[in-house]
Amino acid sequence: MFRTVVAVASIITLGFVGAIAAEPASAEKASAPTRTILQRADIPGTDLELVYATMDIPSGAKTERHMHPGVSMGQVVEGEVWQQFDGQPKRILRAGESAVIPANAVHEDGSTGKPAKMAWAYVVPKGKPLAVPAP
């Protein structure tokens, strides 16, 4: 079942990347990363839903330490981002590279200096938020 969910998330992510990359960049961005939910779908036979979203990360912006109640998979569409899990060194992801975040893994991420855009697929329990602050 998990492989099916990951496969569905991958297909959706790859299908939307071209459309996201074609979007014009806005002239002004907020100082914090912003997530835009594009689509939600129930995963039949489970209490889970698949949520597809984009995240715009302004130059030098970062998230606070947080975690997701389910697995998430993302790809850098443009720019460059860093990601750091608690107790591990930062890693850099460039346009075209992807990451998988296990459920409840505490982490933070941000842009490396230029604005960045990511596409994310989240598999979360229905009714739960996509992200919660780390304890």
Tokens of 134: 């780390």
CA distance 104 to 130: 11
Contact criterion met (CB below 8 Å) for 55 and 45 = no
Q: Is 5 a residue whose pLDDT tops 60?
A: no
Tokens of 17: 């990347």
DSSP bridge pairs for 125: 48
pLDDT of residue 14: 43
Contact criterion met (CB below 8 Å) for 117 and 79 = yes
pLDDT, mean over the chain: 85
The band of 31, judged by pLDDT with boundaries at 50, 70 and 90, is: confident
Q: What percent of the chain has pLDDT over 90?
A: 75
pLDDT of residue 3: 58
CA distance 69 to 123: 8
pLDDT of residue 29: 40
In the chain, what are the domains? 2-24+33-126 (2.60.120.10)
pLDDT of residue 93: 97
